[in-house]
């Protein structure tokens, strides 16, 4: 035989012997070439396989350890917590612990330390065990799904395992009918059946179901634990990661191991085989540099608006989200407040940057200033989220905060004025409900609604006594009508004459007479008169309020306050008895600026 070009072709070697049907067997073929193994993300690769690998859930692990050791294993478990803290992982570990037979088959009872190598452990880990059924309640919400899979299946003994285990993820998604159908089986399950429920919305689970389960609340993992955990995983992967980068990832994970591992995976891919730096992670997450955030907070609280806006613009140009910047400023405000109030506790809770810069800022800022900053940033955060231009909204938040950061509190302002010191001019405070409220008699204080002065009750001597009588008998409407519509002409024992307003109720005289007669136990005559009479109580009160306002506005101390704070307004005015007051005369009870900070 020749090849295509006429040269002799190489003959195949003769068969060594007859094949199965008398012909030569074909030569053995090489195995097909295998491609590279598919990549497993870190969240799956480092999923805990035993209770000893779970982090941050010591209380649950201890309870389950004691339960398995004493044989007091519940028939149903409810695992709740935020996403990524290990609910489904814990459910699978419980399933392995219930069915592990040991590497040599010597384990004959549930164990808290499953071997991970026996047939049951490997089958459960690979999600192919016939007696461990994982159900997604979000996709199987109906009663028929529960009846077919759980209720009917629970009647039969397990095929190869010690216990039949039903893992229901996101159990709160089941319908009401499905929950009701499950109740009886859940309350009295066969001895070979165990239930493990997982949910992120524990409040949506009916209490009738919760009462039949042993509940475990899986906690968020602290940031320092996550930082150490991610560092260990990075070491196993042979990847160099800066400590600050690990801190940023842990903070962004918000207590979720899975979220943090996903971010770490992304950061490693971003590094492209090199070291993972904090700067790269900051850009990936859209965060501002932590040191720049502290610089920004310091500039804002010092009133340096131009510097603050420059730092915000630089952070935005570097990829920082304005919303995240405001959130970081809230975090700095909280850290400085804690450093001011409980400095000893900061040693174990704060990062290095907070321990270095927090006390210095805390020494310069007062608690009212920090509280005001917190409230303004918190309300500003909602504005930034809702604004079409988030950078502009964030700038306006910083401008407002810087504008009021260095202003003295009203109490400090009054004390300075009383000592004859200079006060800053040109400042502004919000108008409206948060304004200063002046009290005739020399003092200035923030007050709620005016309180009527106590009046001695010595019989019925005037309309105010009649109003007080109606109020004491819960005749609120009648009391208001007396004050608004009655001009007193004459009042004597048993006789009351008044001129009514044109729009007064027609039965007003009869109702007043009935009130007085019933209250005093003697007959009263209430008659209408054409004489002008005295002003109504409402008119008298309005005239008195106007007179008091003129008196207060003319007070030198109040004029000085209004000049120093052009936006300030005088609110409620009433006479103030300094002897009964809880603060010295000419002092101030501070009404927080943030009540109306949108107008600042």
Average pLDDT over residues 247-261: 88
Supply the pLDDT for residue 406: 66
Supply the pLDDT for residue 24: 47
Is residue 594's pLDDT more than 80?
no
Average pLDDT over residues 103-126: 88
**Position 32 in a domain:** no
Domain count for the chain: 4
Please tell me whether residues 439 and 571 are part of one structural domain.
yes
Supply the pLDDT for residue 344: 54
**Position 11 in a domain:** no
Supply the pLDDT for residue 341: 83
Supply the pLDDT for residue 293: 87
Task: Band the pLDDT of 67: cuts 50, 70, 90.
Answer: very high
SS3 110: coil
Residues in the chain: 600
Q: What CATH code is carried by the domain that includes residue 239?
A: 1.10.8.60
Please tell me whether residues 254 and 338 are part of one structural domain.
no
Q: What CATH code is carried by the domain that includes residue 352?
A: 1.20.272.10
**Position 388 in a domain:** yes
Cβ-proximal residues to 128 (8 Å cutoff; 6+ apart), any chain: none
Supply the pLDDT for residue 575: 64
Please tell me whether residues 390 and 252 are part of one structural domain.
no
Q: How far is CA 434 from the centre of its chain?
A: 26
Average pLDDT over residues 571-589: 50
Q: Is 113 exposed, middle or buried (0-12, 13-18, 19+ CB in 10 A)?
A: middle
**Position 308 in a domain:** yes
Please tell me whether residues 310 and 246 are part of one structural domain.
no
Average pLDDT over residues 381-397: 92
Distance in angstroms (rounded) separating the CA atoms of residues 329 and 252:
15
Distance in angstroms (rounded) separating the CA atoms of residues 313 and 309:
6
Distance in angstroms (rounded) separating the CA atoms of residues 244 and 326:
20
**Position 23 in a domain:** no
Supply the pLDDT for residue 574: 63
Is residue 55's pLDDT more than 80?
yes
Nearest Cα neighbor of 79 from 95, 98, 66 is 95
Please tell me whether residues 401 and 415 are part of one structural domain.
no
Task: Band the pLDDT of 417: cuts 50, 70, 90.
Answer: low
Asked if 374 and 410 touch (Cβ cutoff 8 Å), the reply is no
Please tell me whether residues 422 and 516 are part of one structural domain.
yes
Supply the pLDDT for residue 595: 43
Q: Of residues 252 and 216, which shows the higher confidence score?
A: 216
**Position 522 in a domain:** yes
**Position 88 in a domain:** yes
76-80 vs 164-169, strand pairing mode? unpaired
Count CA within 13 A, CB hemisphere, residue 528. Answer: 13
Please tell me whether residues 329 and 258 are part of one structural domain.
no
Average pLDDT over residues 125-150: 86
Supply the pLDDT for residue 578: 47
**Position 10 in a domain:** no
Average pLDDT over residues 483-502: 89
Instruction: Of 3-17, 142-156, 499-513, 553-567, give the lowest mean pLDDT range.
Output: 3-17
Distance in angstroms (rounded) separating the CA atoms of residues 505 and 501:
9
Which structural domain, as residue segments, surrounds residue 252? 223-285
Asked if 426 and 567 touch (Cβ cutoff 8 Å), the reply is no
Q: Is 404 exposed, middle or buried (0-12, 13-18, 19+ CB in 10 A)?
A: buried
Average pLDDT over residues 417-435: 48
Please tell me whether residues 70 and 197 are part of one structural domain.
yes
Among 285, 307, 334, the domain-final residue is 285
Is residue 600's pLDDT more than 50?
no
Supply the pLDDT for residue 581: 45
Please tell me whether residues 276 and 138 are part of one structural domain.
no
- Reported as a single tens digit per residue, the pLDDT across 505-554 is 888 888 888 888 888 888 888 888 888 889 989 888 888 888 888 888 88
Task: Band the pLDDT of 434: cuts 50, 70, 90.
Answer: very low
Lookup result for tokens 């210095």: 360
Among 191, 217, 243, the domain-final residue is 217
Please tell me whether residues 382 and 424 are part of one structural domain.
no
Characterize 483-501 residue by residue with b for buried, 16 or more Cβ atoms within 10 angstroms of its Cβ, and e for exposed: bebbbbbebeeeebbbbbb
Mean pLDDT for the chain overall = 79
Supply the pLDDT for residue 164: 92
Task: Band the pLDDT of 350: cuts 50, 70, 90.
Answer: low
Q: Of residues 301 and 289, which shows the higher confidence score?
A: 301
Q: Is 291 exposed, middle or buried (0-12, 13-18, 19+ CB in 10 A)?
A: exposed
Q: How far is CA 332 from the centre of its chain?
A: 17
Average pLDDT over residues 483-489: 90
Supply the pLDDT for residue 448: 34
Q: Of residues 410 and 434, which shows the higher confidence score?
A: 410
Percent of all residues in the chain with a pLDDT value above 70, rounded to a whole number: 78
Q: Of residues 595 and 109, which shows the higher confidence score?
A: 109
Task: Band the pLDDT of 231: cuts 50, 70, 90.
Answer: very high
Average pLDDT over residues 368-373: 87
Nearest Cα neighbor of 295 from 322, 317, 314 is 314
Please tell me whether residues 208 and 274 are part of one structural domain.
no
Supply the pLDDT for residue 599: 40
Task: Give how far Cα 343 sits from Cα of 291, 352, 354, 358, 549, Å.
Answer: 20, 14, 11, 9, 46
Supply the pLDDT for residue 364: 85
Among 378, 405, 432, the domain-final residue is 405
Supply the pLDDT for residue 23: 44
Please tell me whether residues 131 and 276 are part of one structural domain.
no
Supply the pLDDT for residue 353: 63
Q: What CATH code is carried by the domain that includes residue 197?
A: 3.40.50.300
Concatenating the DSSP letter of every residue in 378-424 gives HHHHHHHHH-SSHHHHHHHHHHHHHHHHTSPPHHHHHHHHHTT----
């Amino acid at each position: 035989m020749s090849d295509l070009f006429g040269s002799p072709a190489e003959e195949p070697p003769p068969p060594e012997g007859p094949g199965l049907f008398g012909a030569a067997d074909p030569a053995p073929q090489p195995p097909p070439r295998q491609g590279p193994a598919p990549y497993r993300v870190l969240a799956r690769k480092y999923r805990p396989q035993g209770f000893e690998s779970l982090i941050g859930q010591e209380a649950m692990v201890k309870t389950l350890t004691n339960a398995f050791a004493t044989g007091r294993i519940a028939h149903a478990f409810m695992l709740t917590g935020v996403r990524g803290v290990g609910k489904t992982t814990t459910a699978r570990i419980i399933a392995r612990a219930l069915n592990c037979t040991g590497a040599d088959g010597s384990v004959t009872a549930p164990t808290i330390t499953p071997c991970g190598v026996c047939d049951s452990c490997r089958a459960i880990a690979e999600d192919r065990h016939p007696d461990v059924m994982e159900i997604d309640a979000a996709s199987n919400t109906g009663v028929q799904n529960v009846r077919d899979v759980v209720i009917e299946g629970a009647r039969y003994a397990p095929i190869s395992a010690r216990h039949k285990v039903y893992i229901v993820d996101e159990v709160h998604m089941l319908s009401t009918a499905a929950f009701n159908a499950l109740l009886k089986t859940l309350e009295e399950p066969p001895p070979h059946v165990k239930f493990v429920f997982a949910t992120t919305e524990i409040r949506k689970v009916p209490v009738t179901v919760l009462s039949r389960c042993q509940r475990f609340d899986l906690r968020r993992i602290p940031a320092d634990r996550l930082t150490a955990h991610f560092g260990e995983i990075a070491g196993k992967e042979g990847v160099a990661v800066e400590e600050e980068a690990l801190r940023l990832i842990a903070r962004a994970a918000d207590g979720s191991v899975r979220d943090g591992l996903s971010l770490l995976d992304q950061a490693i891919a971003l590094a492209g085989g090199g070291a993972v730096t904090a700067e790269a992670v900051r850009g990936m997450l859209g965060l501002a540099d932590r040191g720049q955030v502290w610089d920004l907070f310091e500039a804002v609280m010092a009133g340096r608006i131009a510097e603050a806006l420059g730092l915000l613009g630089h952070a935005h140009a570097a990829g920082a989200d304005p919303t995240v910047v405001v959130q970081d400023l809230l975090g700095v405000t909280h850290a400085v407040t804690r450093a001011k109030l409980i400095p000893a506790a900061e040693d174990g809770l704060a990062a290095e940057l907070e321990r270095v810069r927090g006390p210095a800022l805390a020494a310069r800022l007062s608690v009212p200033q920090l509280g005001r900053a917190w409230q303004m940033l918190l309300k500003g955060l909602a504005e930034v989220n809702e604004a079409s231009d988030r950078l502009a909204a964030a700038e306006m938040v910083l401008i407002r905060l810087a504008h009021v950061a260095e202003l003295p509190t009203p109490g400090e302002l009054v004390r300075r004025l009383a000592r004859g010191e200079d006060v800053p001019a040109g400042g502004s405070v919000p108008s409206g409900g948060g304004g200063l409220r002046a009290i005739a008699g020399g003092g200035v204080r923030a007050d709620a609604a005016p309180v009527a002065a106590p009046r001695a009750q010595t019989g019925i001597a005037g309309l105010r006594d009649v109003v007080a009588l109606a109020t004491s008998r819960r005749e609120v409407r009648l009391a208001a009508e007396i004050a608004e519509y009655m001009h007193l002409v004459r009042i004597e024992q048993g006789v009351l004459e008044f001129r009514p307003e044109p729009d007064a109720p027609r039965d007003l005289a009869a109702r007043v007479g009935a009130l007085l007669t019933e209250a005093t136990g003697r007959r009263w005559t209430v008659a209408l008169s054409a004489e002008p009479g005295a002003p109504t109580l409402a008119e008298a009160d309005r005239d008195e309020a106007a007179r008091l306002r003129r008196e207060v506005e003319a007070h030198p101390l109040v004029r000085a306050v209004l000049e120093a704070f052009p936006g300030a307004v005088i609110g409620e005015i009433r006479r103030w008895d300094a002897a009964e007051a809880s603060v010295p005369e000419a002092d101030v009870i501070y009404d927080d600026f943030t009540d109306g900070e949108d107008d600042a």
